[in-house]
Amino acid sequence: MSGSIGVFDSGVGGLSVLHHIRQTLPNERLIYVADSAHVPYGDKTPEYITQRSLTLTRFLIEHGADAIVIACNTATAAAAATLRSQFNIPIIGMEPAVKPAVAATQSGVVGVLATIGTLESARFAALLEKYAGKVEIVTQGCPGLVEQVEQGELDSAKTRELIKRYTEPLLARGADTLILGCTHYPFLVPLISEVVGANITLVDTGEAVARHLKQRLETEVLHHRSGLSPTKQAEFFTSGNAIEASRIMSLLWNEAVEVRLLPSEFA
């Protein structure tokens, strides 16, 4: 089957991007892979993440994808260049929304919440150098937050405590704008807003990625397709526990979904 958008993440966080893709491209068939047997990517080596990204991209292409979205900042930093060199289809990545955050700040201080893997990447360092200018950018690694979202703990006491711990140093430095530098974090927006206050601007990149994907599809992909009727079908796969993934992903996707296990050669 051809004519699909393939999306993958270390786990369920990329569903935040998938929501934006569904809103922007409502008739596209979607295939989503949560690599939850290997989550989080933030503490893995770039080589490990690149290997997983290659494996998942091959699966998605075999399953009919003619465009790929890496719905993970850490995997984008580690693997996007390799994927683009090996596959002749649009490969859309994520990057922390430094540019819009710099434009939004009134205090001149922007905070970044991200995984250690994203913050340590050369790609992120280049972003800071490009956009920071006179704005102070303060970064904060957030170990444990990805795992809370993976468990569906979107408003638990432990999640609240982690958010408080990670945002307090940024607010103390005067940050009035926080970049959500991991695709898991948008699912925590209600709780983050509650903790930091409504006057703090939260920025994520899911919507911008969906717009970029639409542009790439229109210029590079859609005119190659023929005889495909519009469909809202979405398929979900995991390398982890399919039953648990079905529960969590139904919660995050806002409708009941059946998540299938990746074939063993891709898991």
Can 182 be counted among the known catalytic residues? yes
Count the neighbouring beta carbons within 10 Å of the beta carbon of residue 86.
11
User: Cα–Cα distance between 165 and 34 in angstroms, integer?
Assistant: 27
Q: Using DSSP, how many helices (H) and how many strands (E) does the chain show?
A: 11, 10
Count the neighbouring beta carbons within 10 Å of the beta carbon of residue 52.
22
User: Cα–Cα distance between 144 and 132 in angstroms, integer?
Assistant: 27
Sign of the torsion angle spanned by Cα atoms 223, 226, 232, 233: negative
DSSP E strands in 120-262: the ranges are 136-141, 177-180, 201-203, 234-238, 259-261
Catalytic residue among 60, 67, 72, 146: 72
User: Cα–Cα distance between 148 and 159 in angstroms, integer?
Assistant: 6
Contact (CB, 8 A) for 146 and 182: yes
Reading the block at residue 71, the tokens are 């719905």
3-state secondary structure of 171: helix
Nearest to 252 by CA among 5, 14, 77, 8: 14
Nearest to 189 by CA among 39, 1, 13, 51: 13
Can 142 be counted among the known catalytic residues? no
Q: Which residues are catalytic?
A: 72, 182
